[in-house]
Amino acid sequence: MHALAGTGVTAGPTVILVHGMVVSSRYMAPMAEILAPECAVYAPDLPGYGRSYKPWPPFTVAELADALAAWMDAEHLGRAHLVANSFGCQIAAEFAVRHPWRLERLVLQGPTVDPAARTMRQQIWRSMLNSRNEPSSLGWISLRDYWAAGLPRAWTTFRLVLADRIEDKLPHIDAVTMVVRGDRDPLVPHDWAERVARLLPRGELSTMTGLGHTINYAAPARLVDLIRPFLGLGS
């Protein structure tokens, strides 16, 4: 797996940023730069995406979670906080269930998929509605990453996203977890975000005003300010 070079201070916690569907760690870079003075921060490209190798068929959610654990072994990382966005939340939830001893705390920002909209048509429509809430530069990053992945991989990944039932895993996550939602995020309605937090044994919900689905890119400083005390940073 390729990753943004591990940056930040060597003491203190380790934070791993987990990217969403088909996109790469590139859109996690602004958040990584803000976190770097306070912790060791990593933003890997999961297998099949960005600059990582491209297995075919694409890895399942379970295989992606296991690949993340194997990458941590290769980087000699014992335990870490995970901060995930969108489909990355589904991978992080799988990781939390399969590798609980590797996880400190968990941040699920914009967790997908809302069971009330588990069809391709609904998800595409909600994504289109959300596009007005995101910086235009995110569109160019996404286009580049989708091009690198290729249409067959993107299509297959989309089907994996829809098939994965994160709601079945949430009750089995032991880690203290913060769910973060932008109040303008049509992909993650308030009712669904509340349900995610309720299903988690130790979950809490925070809502950020004026933001859509990809807060890690649209407002990275605000997101870091929110999660800093939760992750024990800057203390």
Write the pLDDT tens digit of every residue in 66-104. 999 999 999 999 999 999 999 999 999 999 999 999 999
Question: For residues 189 and 196, is the Cβ–Cβ distance under 8 A?
Answer: no
Q: What is the pTM of this model?
A: 0.95
pLDDT averaged over every residue in the chain: 94
Helices (H), the chain: 29-35, 61-74, 87-98, 120-131, 136-149, 151-163, 166-169, 190-199, 215-218, 220-231
Q: Please determine, for residue 11, whether its predicted confidence score (pLDDT) is greater than 90.
A: no
Domain-wise residue ranges, the chain: 2-231
Write the pLDDT tens digit of every residue in 14-23. 999 999 999 9
| Cα dihedral 183, 188, 194, 200 sign | negative
Helix axes 120-131, 151-163, angle to 10 degrees: 110
Note the CATH number of domain 2-231.
3.40.50.1820
Read off the pLDDT band of 235 (50, 70, 90): low
Token output for 13: 């916690």
Residue type for 181, please?
R
Read off the pLDDT band of 9 (50, 70, 90): low
Contacts 24+ apart (CB under 8 A), 31-36: 31/83, 31/216, 31/217, 31/220, 31/223, 31/224, 32/4, 32/7, 33/7, 33/220, 34/220, 34/221, 34/224, 35/8, 35/224, 35/233, 36/7, 36/8, 36/9
Query: What mean pLDDT is predicted for residues 40-51?
Result: 96
Question: For residues 27 and 217, is the Cβ–Cβ distance under 8 A?
Answer: yes
Read off the pLDDT band of 8 (50, 70, 90): low
